[in-house]
């Protein structure tokens, strides 16, 4: 009877796509994991505040006085005066739509705002979230102003639709993180998913998400270009000093 030779299994060589995905995963998780291990929940204090605020406003919608308060503080729609919309926009970020399930929104906020806070820092996270929300709000007004006769326009009744919630900020933060951490797979995937959503189910929210992502993409690209320019200018005196 023939004997079986002892063979060693060959290690699996990851494909190029596998290496790319693994590299992105490492770039996206290395810093957050280290920060959470060293600082705990203090590292995502901003995220915890936003989650609690969002949940608080969701509870407020369930009462008469609370719904009036939520509408006065953060109720934004394309039909209200622009100065009032701009004044309410920061608060509208944590005012979820009353008819949508809150648990999914809270999970998105916890994961994406938490990741952004760990990757970008609190100040940058707030700036990106506000820019994304503002771009969505302004684009909604522009679409209503254009009117339904244009491919980019919307019917006038959309002006009364409540336009609040953290979703625009969430997709904007994903785009910013992908650009800062050089994650092209994530960047492309998010854009493809949002475009597919608008094509399959055209709605106000989907178009606002694309506007938010466009604004954040331009802002992040400008910020990264400015950072590279500063590094190059800072490196030139160092080279000159070494030559001397």
Q: Would 238 be classed as within a structural domain?
A: no
Q: Would 242 be classed as within a structural domain?
A: no
Q: Would 237 be classed as within a structural domain?
A: no
Q: Would 241 be classed as within a structural domain?
A: no
Give CA–CA dist 47/115, Å, rounded: 9
Q: Range of 177's domain?
A: 23-231
Domain count, the chain: 1
pTM of the model: 0.86
Q: Would 173 be classed as within a structural domain?
A: yes
Residue 128 has pLDDT above 70, yes or no: yes
Q: Would 10 be classed as within a structural domain?
A: no
Residue 192 has pLDDT above 80, yes or no: yes
Quickly list H helices, 40-181.
Answer: 45-60, 64-74, 82-92, 102-108, 114-120, 122-146, 167-180
Give CA–CA dist 49/130, Å, rounded: 15
Q: Would 6 be classed as within a structural domain?
A: no
Give CA–CA dist 27/24, Å, rounded: 5
Per residue in 49-78, pLDDT (tens digit) is 999 999 999 999 999 888 999 999 999 988
Per residue in 1-28, pLDDT (tens digit) is 555 444 555 556 568 778 888 888 888 8
More confident residue, 169 or 162: 169
Give CA–CA dist 196/215, Å, rounded: 19
Q: Would 184 be classed as within a structural domain?
A: yes
Residue 241 has pLDDT above 80, yes or no: no
**Region of poorest pLDDT, from 46-50, 103-107, 168-172, 188-192:** 103-107
Write down the pLDDT at residue 244: 54
State how far the alpha carbon of 169 is from the alpha carbons of 3, 6, 51, 91, in Å.
64, 57, 13, 12
């Amino acid at each position: 009877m023939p004997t079986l030779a002892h063979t060693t299994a060959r290690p699996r060589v990851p494909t190029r796509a596998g290496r790319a995905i693994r590299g992105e995963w490492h770039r996206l998780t290395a810093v957050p994991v280290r920060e959470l291990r060293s600082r705990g929940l203090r590292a995502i204090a901003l995220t915890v505040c936003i989650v609690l605020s969002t949940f608080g406003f969701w509870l407020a919608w369930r009462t008469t006085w609370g719904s009036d308060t939520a509408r006065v503080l953060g109720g934004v729609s394309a039909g209200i005066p622009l100065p009032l919309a701009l004044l309410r926009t920061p608060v509208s970020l944590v005012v979820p739509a009353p008819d949508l399930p809150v648990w999914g929104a809270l999970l998105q906020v916890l994961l994406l705002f938490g990741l952004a806070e760990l990757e970008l820092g609190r100040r940058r996270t707030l700036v990106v979230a506000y820019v994304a929300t503002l771009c969505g709000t302004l684009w909604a007004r522009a679409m209503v102003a254009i009117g339904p006769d244009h491919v980019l326009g919307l019917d006038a009744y959309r002006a009364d639709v409540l336009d609040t919630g953290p979703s625009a900020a969430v997709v904007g933060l994903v785009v910013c993180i992908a650009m800062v951490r050089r994650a092209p797979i994530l960047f492309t995937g998010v854009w493809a998913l949002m475009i597919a959503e608008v094509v399959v189910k055209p709605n106000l929210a989907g178009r606002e998400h694309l506007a938010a992502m466009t604004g954040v993409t331009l802002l992040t690209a400008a910020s990264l270009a400015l950072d590279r320019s500063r590094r190059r200018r800072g490196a030139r005196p160092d080279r000159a000093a070494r030559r001397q």
